[in-house]
Structure formats: structure tokens, C-alpha cells
Amino acid sequence: MGFGLLCIAVQLSYIGLEQRLLSSIEPAPTPAREFATQMTVFVVLTLLMAISGRSVWSALHAGAQREQTLAERNQQLRQEIDRRELHSRNWRAMGSI
């Protein structure tokens, strides 16, 4: 729904620009203003990329920790299974004597 409204707003503004209904009352921007605008955009995008990179790194790190925990738990379970199988074999061997 939000994307549809955005598309409609863009279309209406395009039609308004075509028919000269929307005209700018500001003078052309100075080179200093353009530079400031471009630097602001650059800094904001750099911060967003840094935040995104940190988020990905954090997710990968958490996944690696969970994988390590699961590997340790699987090893414990394997040892318990082996111990029980040995106990079961010993019990059967005692019963056949």
C-alpha cells in the first residue's frame, strides 16, 4: 500500500513538473551548497554501510557461536550413546554367562 502511494505521488509530481504547476522559487544552488549536500549524502551512506556491515558480522559471529555450542553438545550426546551401548553390551554379556 505504501509503495503504491509513493508511485502515485511520484506520478503526480511528474505531471505537475511537466505542466509547470510545480516550479522552484529558489535560485540555483551554489557550489558550496552542492558540496555540502553531496558530503552529507556520502557520510550518511557510509554510516549506513558501516551499520549494515556490523549487523552482518554480528549475525555471523552469533551463528558461529551457536554452531560451536551445538558441536560440543553433539559430542556429549555421542559419548553418552557410546557409554550406554557399552553398558548394554556388558549387560548382555553378563546375562549369557
Instruction: Check whether 23 has a pLDDT greater than 70.
Output: no
Residues 6+ apart with CB under 8 A from 1: none
Q: Rounded to an integer, what distance in angstroms lies between the CA atom of residue 26 and that of residue 31?
A: 15
**Mind listing the pLDDT tens digit for each residue in 39-89?**
999 999 999 999 999 999 999 999 999 999 999 999 999 999 999 999 998
* pLDDT band for position 95 (cuts 50, 70, 90): confident
Cell of 33: 551548497
Confidence of residue 24 (pLDDT cuts 50, 70, 90): low
Residue, of 6 and 35, whose pLDDT is higher: 35
Instruction: Give the DSSP per-residue string, 3-40.
Output: HHHHHHHHHHHHHHHHTT-S---SPPPPHHHHHHHHHH
